[in-house]
Structure 1
């Protein structure tokens, strides 16, 4: 005696359709009430943009700009130190003497 798969197929289809419809309904409710949507790993797909988050982004952007400026000045200073270390000593003596002459 064989199991009638033709009787099982409509039930499986109805369960599948109900599952998809339930997921769509739950997602609609979350959107309607302002809850963030979740991705596959639980992270927020569309997080809320509140004023506190925007202020944090603004402060972090300002700090990033300051750090980039400081890094640029450090790179310039490092280039000067490298030039001094790698230059021959007679070139360094001439530059120091020319700077002393400009000051007097």
Structure 2
């Protein structure tokens, strides 16, 4: 039995490292972390966006949302004016538009 145990120790020492590296890489890839080679160099992904491209997309989305908010604020101001103005004045303005 001790001869079998003597064979398992070197075999385990050789195989545990690559298996651990493979599992680590799989977990990192699954959760979106950057993948590294055995030498520690990052491997790029085809689907990943560069930081500058991500920034450009976020700036464009931010500008779009600011425009939507501005339009909604204008509409809200009109609705507030209609709701708080006396009905007589609103009817005069409607008649003036006709």
State the TM-score, normalized to the length of structure 1.
0.45
Compare CA radii of gyration and give the structure with the larger one.
1
As a proportion of its length, which structure holds more strand? 2
State the TM-score, normalized to the length of structure 2.
0.47
